[in-house]
A and B are shown apart, each in its own frame.
Chain A
Amino acid sequence: MRFLLVEDNGDLARAAQTRLALDGHGVDWAASLAEAENHLLAAPYDLILLDIMLPDGDGRDFLAAQRRARRDTPVIVMTARAAVSDRVALLDTGADDYITKPFDFAELEARVRAVLRRRGGAAETLRRYADLTFDPLKATITIAGEARELRNRELRLFEVLLSAPDCIFSKPHLCDRLFSYAEAVTDNAIEVYVARLRKKLAGSAARIETVRGVGYRLTAD
């Protein structure tokens, strides 16, 4: 997906850009509202990640102006302010959601998905691999016309594996993608989700292969 990141802190912006790129997203960075305006005129974005305190104005005013101009690119506000005082006003100005800094990128991803799902989603998010179609917004895998729903962790596991088919992902890597760092989990916790995902993939040419002692990979017959 293509994001516009409006954030005046260069360190954070570059880190977020790099981090989101790891998940396969394209991120353009605007350090001010004026730059953001230019980016929006030049290219379409799936989503805007908007900071509130910017050198040339308040992100909320920018958001309100966008909505008045009937530009309805989904917006997730990144707020650094005390969560309590901002929440209400943000959603009232037309933000689709907000996330409090410092954010968990997995949570950001979940919120982006929820926003796009509410907005009716875009067809180009569909991904095909072997004989299956994967819809990350609806969280379904369709095999031979039969849609199978994935739970959130199954979905994220599949997304990771699908991001680099035939590449081996180690158990610790997968654990980091599935579980929050606040949870204490053993590497074996991943096995449950691999087993479930295999069940969902039953009957497809795609399958998850165990590479003994190393990890897992998605491959197709």
Chain B
Amino acid sequence: MRQPFLSHSIRQRLILQLLVVAAVLAALLYLSVRSVADAAVETTQDGILGAAATAVAEQLRGGEDGVEIDLPYSAFSMLGATGADRVFYRILVAGETVTGYDDLPLPPEADRLLAPVFYTRAFRDTEVRIAALERTLLVDRRPVAVAVLVAQTRLGQEAIVAAMANRAAALGLGFFAVAALLSLVTAGSVLRPVNRLAEAVARRGPRDLRPLAHPTPAELAPFVTALNAFIARLRAALTRTETFIAEAAHHIRTPLATVRARAEIALRQTDDENTRATLRSAIRAVEDSARAASQLLDHATVVYRTDQRAEERLDLARLTRDVARNLSPTAELKDLSLAVAVPDSPVEVTGDRLLLKSALHNLVDNAIKYSPAEGTIEIALRPNGRSVEITVEDRGRGLEGATTRDLTRRFCRGANVADVVGSGLGLTIVEEVAAAHGGRFGIADRPGGGASAYLTLPLA
């Protein structure tokens, strides 16, 4: 797809425009210097030609039988001063050429020309500048028109103009080069505040939703204001999400807790086996919905935090010990022991503490749920090159052929766990946390029975 012009770099556009302006100015400079030089040189030549023509005309005398012509060579030597230029002349009496080059072009208007007229014509393979004037002489008491034409080639003039034009061109190029340099600097300095602003936004941590207080030029103020308004809306939306999750949990769980406590009390107080069975199934249902609600909300939290991960360096060894310690009373209820093999030294990874804790919690909780009483759950943490592997192994019922892919799909559970309370989200959460941290998660049947889950994370 063609990119619209607006999305091109402002810097490029700015530089391009400045360069075009500089080029136009340089060309104008060149042209105007050239035309001024042209005019100046031409005026000079015209002055000399005019003077020469006038000098020649002044030497013309009318007599009884014709016109007396006395060519003043001093006038021509004036012209000869300009380099290799050749000089031509032509004198006409009553329209007849009497001396000089009879093919030298006549002026456009051959009327009475008291002041010299100047014109440029092609003559003998070159261009000449011609000064022409007319005088009236009395020949045999009758007025006779005498015209004087003095011409000079333009080689010297062209050479001067060319020299000046070269200088003008050099000046124009120099001007352009300086302007180009300045335009680069200008583009840089004009765009610097934009770049600084972009850096300031990019440098922010994922949880940093404070408004921008970066000093910006007035032109960027509307942009910063809009950005800050957006940040404020985002913050409000996130706060609402967090509050909603918390309140949803509160409103779902508190009544469930009441139901559960009441059911347990009733169970203690009755001996009727039917009532007891009903109460047990009620408690199971409460547990089921509580767990589903809890994991749905955990899942929502995980998804939400994956988008806005709070990265920090943390000690995975300590985190693993904390999770194991926290779940040991739960394990104890089934006389299960948690064998924790974790190095004493810190094992640092970069990640979101809550997400990683949630993943580990789910792994260990799963192992406890599916283990028969009085077993041992082995939790191990092994740094391995540039990554660290956490394994949680139990002697439970295993997977019966289910794959990691099957078990990490939302709301999908193994085929052999219908009798155990669960939501089908626990391993989905683990998998999502692993993916968010650039790690891997897998679960497989353990040789000798049970399941073996691993979570691999890159070391910090």
Q: How far is the CA of A84 from the CA of B323 in the complex (A)?
A: 12
Closest to A11 in B: B258
B262 contacts chain A at the CB level, 8 A cutoff? yes
Could you tell me if A102 and B286 are in contact, using CB atoms closer than 8 angstroms? yes
Could you tell me if A84 and B261 are in contact, using CB atoms closer than 8 angstroms? no
B271 contacts chain A at the CB level, 8 A cutoff? yes
A191 contacts chain B at the CB level, 8 A cutoff? no
With an 8 Å Cβ cutoff, the count of chain A residues facing the other chain is 44
Question: For the complex, would chain B's binding face be called helix, strand, loop or mixed by DSSP majority?
Answer: helix
Mark the stretch among A14-22, A123-131, A201-209 that contacts chain B. Answer: A14-22
Mark the stretch among A28-36, A38-46, A60-68, A180-188 that contacts chain B. Answer: A180-188
Could you tell me if B249 and A114 are in contact, using CB atoms closer than 8 angstroms? no
Q: How far is the CB of B93 from chain A (nearest CB, A)?
A: 118
Across-interface contacts of B301 in A (CB, < 8 A): 82, 84-85
Could you tell me if A102 and B260 are in contact, using CB atoms closer than 8 angstroms? yes
Could you tell me if B280 and A151 are in contact, using CB atoms closer than 8 angstroms? no
Closest to B293 in A: A82
With an 8 Å Cβ cutoff, the count of chain B residues facing the other chain is 56
Q: How far is the CA of A110 from the CA of B358 in the complex (A)?
A: 22
B69 contacts chain A at the CB level, 8 A cutoff? no
Could you tell me if A152 and B332 are in contact, using CB atoms closer than 8 angstroms? yes
8 Å CB contacts to A: which residues of B84-143? none
Across-interface contacts of B298 in A (CB, < 8 A): 82-84
Q: How far is the CB of B307 from chain A (nearest CB, A)?
A: 15
Could you tell me if B273 and A172 are in contact, using CB atoms closer than 8 angstroms? yes
Q: How far is the CA of A85 from the CA of B249 in the complex (A)?
A: 11
From B261, B273, B357, A16 is in contact (CB under 8 Å) with B261
Q: How far is the CA of A80 from the CA of B333 in the complex (A)?
A: 22
Closest to B323 in A: A87
From B245, B255, B284, A181 is in contact (CB under 8 Å) with B284
Q: How far is the CB of A180 from chain B (nearest CB, A)?
A: 7
From A15, A170, A181, B283 is in contact (CB under 8 Å) with A181
Across-interface contacts of A153 in B (CB, < 8 A): 333-335, 373
Q: How far is the CB of A1 from chain B (nearest CB, A)?
A: 16
From B249, B290, B355, A81 is in contact (CB under 8 Å) with B249
Closest to B322 in A: A91
Q: How far is the CA of A113 from the CA of B326 in the complex (A)?
A: 13
Across-interface contacts of B267 in A (CB, < 8 A): 176
Closest to A85 in B: B301
Could you tell me if B287 and A181 are in contact, using CB atoms closer than 8 angstroms? yes
Q: How far is the CA of A170 from the CA of B260 in the complex (A)?
A: 22
Q: How far is the CA of A9 from the CA of B253 in the complex (A)?
A: 11
Across-interface contacts of A151 in B (CB, < 8 A): 335, 374
Q: How far is the CB of A65 from chain B (nearest CB, A)?
A: 21
From B242, B265, B328, B369, A15 is in contact (CB under 8 Å) with B265
6 A-B contact pairs sorted by A residue (CB < 8 Å): A9-B254, A12-B257, A81-B245, A82-B294, A85-B354, A101-B254
Interface residues of chain A, those whose CB is within 8 Å of chain B, are 9, 11-12, 15-16, 18-19, 22, 53, 78, 80-85, 87-88, 91, 97, 100-107, 110-111, 113-114, 151-153, 170, 172-173, 176, 180-184
Interface residues of chain B, those whose CB is within 8 Å of chain A, are 242, 245-246, 249-250, 253-262, 264-265, 267-268, 271, 273, 276, 280, 283-284, 286-287, 290, 294, 297-298, 300-302, 305, 322, 326, 328-330, 332-335, 353-355, 357-358, 361, 369, 373-374, 419-421
Q: A11-B255, A19-B264 are in contact. List 18 more A-B contacts (CB 8 A).
A: A15-B261, A15-B265, A16-B261, A80-B253, A81-B249, A82-B300, A84-B297, A84-B302, A84-B357, A84-B358, A85-B245, A101-B290, A102-B290, A104-B287, A110-B329, A152-B333, A180-B334, A182-B284
**A-B pairs with lowest CB-CB distance, top 4:** A102-B257, A15-B261, A110-B329, A82-B297
